[in-house]
Chains A and B, each alone.
Chain A
Amino acid sequence: MKNSGQVKYRRSMLSRFGFNFYDIFVYAFCILFALVCVYPMWYVFVASITPYDEYIKGGLMLWPRGVDFQYYISIFNTRSFLNSLWISVSKTVLATVLSVLVTSTMAYAVSKSHVRGMKVINALVVFNLFFTGGLIPQYILYQDLHLLRSYWVMVIPGALNITYFIIMRNYFTYSVPKDLEEAARLDGCTDVGVFFKIVLPVSRPMVAAVTLFIAVINWNDYYNYMMFISNKTNLQPFAWILRRMLTDKSLMNTVRNGAVGLGLELPPPMALRMATIICAMLPIMCVYPFLQKHFTSGITLGAVKE
């Protein structure tokens, strides 16, 4: 009995050995890469709440050695931070709502390719993915439209999002059941009725997902500010504040001196940067579970044709 058990055990060890080696490699590789992806964020989070005395000891910060929000207090004691948060939140909301409305309605209309003109419009939109005027023509256009140095340059021009136009168009074309629409039409529904009673309810999850994606893009956007507003500090979005914290010594000095004025220890620049990074990341982390849920279906939607 004992003997046969041992033989069995040994054989399974042997037959598993190749397997195991392979498995170890697979798991080690994947887990290692996953750690490379998230450890920097974890490190920044832990370091940004570590009290000064512990912070200056350095190390890998695998776990918080005490909690102290002094760096957050320092940055939010600086006027431009709160203002930029407000700018970011408001422009994200406005730009996202506008963009989703314009893009989704257009995508739905263009998905009705039997209606005359829609194929041309579709071609015109997609062409823009590959050919644009570029930075300077954009600058001159905004100048002519009096959008330069205005808050609205961060909201209006991006109203039509071409990438999500294509994704939504494909969704409306291939994933909204045609029979459902037909049945509603037979029951006497007009185009309006079909849109509001059938298409919108059916595609609500998709529209919700696209809304989140576009909101993240808008939250992260600093490009429009940098290119077309650039010197109006009362309009800078939070992403730009972060950019300045990384590169602009004068803002950094303002924040550090402000911290001393509050009676805090003179904070190391990197700690303040980390606190700013966490603030810029926070909204994205909050919606990330939802983003991820729709992520896999969302981007492959564009490629799946039934």
Chain B
Amino acid sequence: MPRQAAVRPAGKPSWLRRLAVYLRKYWFIYMLVLPGLICMIVFNYGTMYGIQLAFKDYSPRLGVWGSPWVGLEHFREMLADPSFIRAFKNTVLINVYKLAFGFTFNILLALLVNEMKMRRVKSMVQTCVYLPYFLSWVIFAGLVQVFLEYPSAADMGGVVNQVIAGLGFEPIDFLKEPAMFRSILTITNIIKTAGYSAIVYFAAIAGIDPTLYESAAIDGANRKDMMLHITLPRILPSVAVMLILELSGLFISNFDQVYNLYSNYVLSTGDVLSTYIYRIGLGGGTDFELSTAVNLVLNVMGLVIVLVANKFIEKLDVQGIF
């Protein structure tokens, strides 16, 4: 009886053999996937074992595996940390600002650029507004400094402050003013990404049936009416998708942007979760466990939100994220 497995009817090869045949058939595809697969396993999934630090008391001597478990202590610590609460609040607030002003601005920009009928001007404008997207936040922070810098003994200060001084007012140290920091983040974000974000809407506008505009013109609609009653409703699905994507990033903060613009002066309004995770972990602090714990909480929250968001997007009958 136990040997029966080896005795098979002819024409039904063992699974191992079938696997060999299958692999031989598709060997090239498997070979192509291999380098990426190795990279993914080593560098993306390889980090996963470090997540256990969130539940451990790390000692470099014992290593990640050898360190003792402490349960949920670091999560309690996190909730008790006022700077975590502050970073959380700032992150959400900044994202709400970006949603309220940035998101609407992107739509407005797309609609208005589309209204320009002079092709030359239109493509010039597009060339200009896409450009900032490719510059890094370091470069952008440099530009911000050039314009907003406070005058010092060695230098005459940024352009904006020169203008303010020229008008006879006191110069303002914009980047050290906590009350202004979130606005600076919102505005710089708009300048850097509005052109890029508008592309999705340009694509949606390009897909609108031109006969709609022709028949509207026959009915005597002017261009403003067409924009409000044809273009805008037609791009609403894209708007909805972008809105859901935006909302799903409610707890995600832009490390690059904030890190390059903030300083100790504006921590109260400018410190966000990603900079917080960095500061307590590597940038000054050495609290590896707390940093890992906060990151884990954010990731789990983010994942849940994205899954829910994807359900909504599927309902909208547009291709989902996956």
0/1 string, A67-98, CB within 8 A of B gives 1: 00000000000000000000000000000000
Number of interface residues of A (CB under 8 A): 97
Is there an interface contact between B281 and A160, defined as CB atoms closer than 8 Å?
no
0/1 string, B122-133, CB within 8 A of A gives 1: 101111111110
Is there an interface contact between A273 and B35, defined as CB atoms closer than 8 Å?
no
Q: Contacts of A242 on B, CB cut-off 8 Å?
A: 138-139, 142
A211 at the interface (CB under 8 A from B): no
0/1 string, B292-319, CB within 8 A of A gives 1: 1001100110110010000000000011
Q: Contacts of A141 on B, CB cut-off 8 Å?
A: 43, 46-47, 49-50
Which of A33, A192, A300 interacts with B129 by CB under 8 Å?
A33
| Residues 189 to 215 of chain B near chain A (Cβ within 8 Å) | 191, 194-196, 199-200, 202-203
A27 at the interface (CB under 8 A from B): yes
Which secondary structure dominates chain A's binding surface? helix
Is there an interface contact between B33 and A109, defined as CB atoms closer than 8 Å?
yes
What is the bound-complex CA distance between A192 and B112, given in angstroms? 48
Known: A138-B50, A268-B154. A37 touches B142 (CB 8 A): no
Minimal Cβ-Cβ distance residue in B for A123: B322
B5 at the interface (CB under 8 A from A): no
What is the bound-complex CA distance between A139 and B149, given in angstroms? 35
What is the distance, in angstroms, from B254's C-beta to the closest C-beta of chain A?
12
Which secondary structure dominates chain B's binding surface? helix
Q: Contacts of A222 on B, CB cut-off 8 Å?
A: 136, 138
Q: Contacts of B46 on A, CB cut-off 8 Å?
A: 141, 145
B32 at the interface (CB under 8 A from A): yes
Is there an interface contact between A34 and B129, defined as CB atoms closer than 8 Å?
yes
Is there an interface contact between B35 and A101, defined as CB atoms closer than 8 Å?
yes
| Selected interface stretch from A176-184, A257-265, A277-285 | A277-285
Is there an interface contact between A136 and B281, defined as CB atoms closer than 8 Å?
yes
A7 at the interface (CB under 8 A from B): no
B282 at the interface (CB under 8 A from A): yes
What is the bound-complex CA distance between A137 and B48, given in angstroms? 7
Is there an interface contact between B53 and A137, defined as CB atoms closer than 8 Å?
yes
Is there an interface contact between A33 and B194, defined as CB atoms closer than 8 Å?
yes
A220 at the interface (CB under 8 A from B): yes
Known: A34-B128, A133-B50. A246 touches B138 (CB 8 A): yes
| Residues 29 to 70 of chain B near chain A (Cβ within 8 Å) | 29-30, 32-33, 35-37, 39-40, 42-51, 53, 64
What is the bound-complex CA distance between A136 and B282, given in angstroms? 8
Is there an interface contact between A246 and B145, defined as CB atoms closer than 8 Å?
yes
Q: How many CB-defined contacts (below 8 Å) exist between A and B?
A: 265
Is there an interface contact between A160 and B115, defined as CB atoms closer than 8 Å?
no
Is there an interface contact between B130 and A295, defined as CB atoms closer than 8 Å?
yes
Q: Contacts of A58 on B, CB cut-off 8 Å?
A: 156, 162
Minimal Cβ-Cβ distance residue in B for A230: B282
What is the bound-complex CA distance between A220 and B115, given in angstroms? 34
Is there an interface contact between A29 and B130, defined as CB atoms closer than 8 Å?
no
A202 at the interface (CB under 8 A from B): no
What is the distance, in angstroms, from B164's C-beta to the closest C-beta of chain A?
12
A288 at the interface (CB under 8 A from B): yes
Is there an interface contact between B132 and A37, defined as CB atoms closer than 8 Å?
yes
What is the distance, in angstroms, from B194's C-beta to the closest C-beta of chain A?
7
A-B residue pairs in contact (CB < 8 Å), sample of 21: A30-B112, A34-B128, A36-B191, A37-B191, A40-B147, A102-B36, A103-B36, A106-B36, A116-B26, A131-B300, A135-B277, A136-B53, A136-B288, A159-B39, A191-B26, A246-B141, A246-B142, A268-B156, A269-B155, A270-B145, A300-B203
Known contacts A109-B36, A115-B30, A139-B288, then 6 further A-B pairs from the complex at CB < 8 Å, ordered by chain A residue: A22-B223, A58-B156, A137-B47, A160-B36, A195-B32, A269-B154
